């Protein structure tokens, strides 16, 4: 195992390098899991403070991305636990219908927004599995490693999450039309 350098100057340089490489990814995952920019900022801050604390015990040759994803998911679970439950369909505010003369991009952006809101309606584990698999594009095996689950469990979670999300978006679009 090659650990990240522990002495002060090397440690700070390694830390800042990892942070600049991964900060957007960590923030993005936190944002998708928490659906709140301020909470996502708090989560990302906590993740990187934990990274700094554990830098000397991480294996540089294996990279720290899986570790960062795992900690991000855990920190977001902790933050979400202190908040209210997931949103139900009835609690999701209506989206304004796109203007008749709006561009195709605007329609697409609204569909993305519906999907983004749909993520909020999933349970914590399903949402984490779906975000890591379908938003981050990790393999099922990688997601299983990060979440500490079996691949079968992850498959079950993402399958359920995809069907719930499809149901959510379908109902919201029907309600809007």
**24 is a contact residue toward another protein (CB under 8 A):** yes
Which residues in the 52-91 window bind another protein by CB under 8 A? 52
**125 is a contact residue toward another protein (CB under 8 A):** no
Q: Rounded to whole angstroms, how far apart are CA atoms 139 and 125?
A: 16
- Taking alpha carbons only, the member of 24, 140, 147 closest to residue 32 is 24
73 token code pair: 């998911």
Query: 42: exposed, middle or buried (C-beta count within 10 Å: 0-12, 13-18, 19+)?
Result: middle
Q: Rounded to whole angstroms, how far apart are CA atoms 61 and 58?
A: 9
Binding residue (CB under 8 A) for another protein from 45, 86, 149, 153: 45
Give, to the nearest 10 degrees, the angle between helix 37-54 and helix 8-34. 150
**36 is a contact residue toward another protein (CB under 8 A):** no
Binding residue (CB under 8 A) for another protein from 4, 14, 18, 31: 31
How many CB atoms are closer than 10 A to CB 10?
A: 11
Binding residue (CB under 8 A) for another protein from 15, 36, 77, 149: 15
155 token code pair: 């498959």
Per the CB < 8 A criterion, the answer to whether 18 and 64 are in contact is: yes
- Of 33-41, 70-78, 80-88, 89-97: span binding another protein (CB under 8 A): 33-41
**133 is a contact residue toward another protein (CB under 8 A):** yes
Binding residue (CB under 8 A) for another protein from 4, 48, 67, 69: 48
List of residues contacting another protein (CB under 8 A) = 8, 12, 15-16, 19-20, 23-24, 27-28, 31-32, 37, 40-41, 44-45, 48-49, 52, 108, 111-112, 115-116, 130, 133-137, 140, 155-156, 158-160, 162-163, 165-166, 169-170
């Amino acid at each position: 195992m090659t650990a990240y350098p522990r002495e002060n100057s090397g440690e700070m340089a390694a830390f800042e390098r990892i942070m600049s490489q991964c900060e957007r990814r960590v923030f993005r995952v936190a944002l998708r899991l928490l659906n709140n920019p301020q909470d996502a900022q708090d989560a990302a801050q906590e993740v990187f403070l934990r990274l700094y604390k554990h830098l000397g015990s991480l294996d540089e040759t294996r990279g720290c991305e899986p570790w960062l994803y795992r900690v991000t998911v855990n920190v977001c679970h902790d933050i979400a636990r202190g908040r209210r439950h997931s949103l139900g369909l009835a609690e999701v505010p209506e989206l304004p219908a796109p203007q008749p003369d709006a561009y195709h991009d605007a329609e697409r952006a609204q569909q993305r927004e519906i999907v983004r809101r749909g993520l909020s309606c999933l349970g914590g584990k399903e949402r984490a599995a779906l975000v890591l698999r379908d938003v981050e594009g990790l393999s099922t095996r990688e997601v299983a490693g990060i979440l500490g689950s079996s691949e079968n469990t992850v498959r079950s979670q993402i399958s359920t999450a995809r069907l719930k999300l499809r149901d959510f978006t379908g109902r919201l679009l029907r309600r809007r039309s």
